[in-house]
Amino acid sequence: MSLFERWLTLWVALCILAGLVLGNLVPGLFGALAGLEYASVNLVVALLIWAMVWPMMIAIDFGALKDVGKRPRGLVITLVINWLVKPFTMAALAVLFFNHVFAGLIDPARAPEYIAGLILLGAAPCTAMVFVWSQLTKGDPNYTLVQVSVNDLIMVVAFAPIVAFLLGVTDISVPWETLILSVVLYIVIPLIAGALTRRVLMARGGLSAVEDFTARIKPVSVIGLLLTVVLLFGFQGQVIIAQPLLIALIAVPIVIQSYGIFALGYAWAWAWRLPHRVAAPCALIGTSNFFELAVAVAIGLFGLNSGAALATVVGVLVEVPVMLSLVAYANRTRDRFPA
């Protein structure tokens, strides 16, 4: 990891602080930016989300899918946890904490929005940072690539139905048109754009051209993330200043979910006697979130000033330190797995 990536939590925290300060000092500016939207999509945030997501999609090699059947167990663990376990446990934790445990500490009218934001996080498996976690645990890069590629293809068709189902179960009204539009805007279009860009780069200079290009545009992705955080916290600055405890409350179920999902995936991989270079990444993939997608969909469904948007951004703040702690644990327990 670069120095900037290693301290991403610090930069996110500073951007949160900047957003809060600016949101209270110049609320008119953020009000004007919030008004730049079309079909429930904020144009400024959409541009920043695309800047984050497109570079990640270039790294996906769908040619790797031909190797799916060679070592299926690690892939089975990842897919079962990502699509049959994680969204539902996140929804259960969200309802438990915001409808019951934290009921006396928050505005009851906002509880459904916090629940919705956490559901969006739980239903969006990670696409990009997974490669970092895999590298830090000396994971098999080719196998990680296969897992991410399969996940992305499933996400195109499964994300919207799972989110709609879970939001319906928690009695939150969801306009299907907006949800489908979000999937097209933030998954399908970047995926196609990334695949086309990769194809052009491979034709010009092979894999080295892809790696050079993604390395050059990586700062664009990070800057997009940080500017999105500034905007989101600027939009909600006055609400957060009035309720400073709110960020910590939202973080609690996210942290519990992260450690619980990792424990399940890692124990399952150990029980199946997978080699560590497969076991560690497959557990970490299920734990990490595609928070860029979650942020974009939360804004599209519930608005820039919603509790759902705030909950997804808190996921950004929590993810990096939690994932690094899990990486450290995975590396310490390497000798418990087959060579």
pLDDT (tens digit per residue) in 176-201: 777 787 778 877 888 889 889 999 99
Distance (Å, rounded) from C-alpha 144 to C-alpha 147?
5
Q: Is the pLDDT of residue 68 over 70?
A: no
Please report the pLDDT score of residue 264 as a whole number: 96
Beta bridge mates, 42: 37
* Segment 261-281 mean pLDDT: 94
* Segment 30-48 mean pLDDT: 79
Residue 155's pLDDT band, with cuts at 50, 70 and 90, is confident
Percent pLDDT > 70 in the chain is 95
Q: Is the pLDDT of residue 94 over 90?
A: yes
* Segment 274-295 mean pLDDT: 87
Please report the pLDDT score of residue 135 as a whole number: 79
CB 77 within 8 A of CB 281: no
Least confident of 1-5, 267-271, 296-300: 1-5
Residue 329's pLDDT band, with cuts at 50, 70 and 90, is very high
* Segment 33-42 mean pLDDT: 76
Residue 265's pLDDT band, with cuts at 50, 70 and 90, is very high
Residue 233's pLDDT band, with cuts at 50, 70 and 90, is confident
Beta bridge mates, 289: 125
- CATH topology (fold) of 11-336: Na+/H+ antiporter like fold (1.20.1530)
Residue 20's pLDDT band, with cuts at 50, 70 and 90, is confident
Q: Is the pLDDT of residue 16 over 90?
A: no
CB 160 within 8 A of CB 180: yes
CB 237 within 8 A of CB 64: no
* Segment 44-48 mean pLDDT: 83
**Token couple for 298:** 């939360």
Tell me the domain boundaries of the chain.
Answer: 11-336
